[in-house]
Amino acid sequence: MSKDFFTAIEERRSIYALSKEQVASDERIQEIVEHAVKYVPSAFNSQSARIIVLINDEHDKFWNLTTEALKGVMGSDADFSSTQEKMNGFKSAYGTILFFEDEDTVRGLQEAAPLYADNFPVWSDQSSGMHQFAIWTALEIEGFGASLQHYNPIVDEFVVREWNVPETWKLRAQMPFGKPMHQPGEKEFKPLEERVKIYK
């Protein structure tokens, strides 16, 4: 499947109804992630992005544990039905990508360039966002649907434990992906003239 850059950006949307049907090989998923980690930019070429890809039982384990963690936070008296529906939807996907930033790398930059110390965490987040966007768009090109979730810090403790994650890796986002089971509706756009200014 081949799309030009602008079409790929346009067609990348949040898809929540996903199935476990395989759209592309696990090897192709690995290629996409590794290509993004290698080539997406980072401040001072810090290369602070860290990624874990969960597939099959590991993917299911993540959403089972997330469900239990949320139940603990919400308490036994809370109505968990809508949250359970969300969890079931994410678990129905093919896999989940966990996005991290290595805080040791960020701290090292702060020490090496103290003049920019306050900026390095911001630049780290910006780089993480670029990795998320690049991988999301590449998955869309392959025929996957995906969405971006943020259950951190609720899930941080068990993620470190279950997948032997270094404590310096800070979880930033989770991306369940799978075969789309529906097409998203029309997206509304604010007027570009209110959002873009060009002077020449």
pLDDT at 183: 86
pLDDT at 78: 85
pLDDT at 178: 98
Mean pLDDT of 30-37: 98
Question: In this predicted model, what pLDDT tens digit does every residue of 64-77 receive, in sequence order?
Answer: 999 999 999 998 88
pLDDT band at 160 (very low <50, low <70, confident <90, very high): very high
Mean pLDDT of 69-97: 93
Rg (CA), the chain: 18
Question: In this predicted model, what pLDDT tens digit does every residue of 121-157 receive, in sequence order?
Answer: 999 999 999 999 999 999 999 999 999 999 999 999 9
* Confidence check: pLDDT of 2 > 80: no
Determine phi and psi for 64, rounding to 5 degrees: -65, -45
The structure tokens listed for 34 are 């590794």
Q: Which domains occur in the chain, in start order?
A: 5-183 (3.40.109.10)
pLDDT band at 1 (very low <50, low <70, confident <90, very high): low
pLDDT at 84: 94
Higher per-residue pLDDT: 76 or 53: 53
Q: What is the mean pLDDT of the chain?
A: 96
With DSSP H G I counted as helix, E B as strand and the rest as coil, what are the percentages for the chain, rounded to 5?
A: 50, 15, 35
- Other Cβ atoms less than 10 A from the Cβ of 95: the count is 24
* Confidence check: pLDDT of 191 > 60: yes
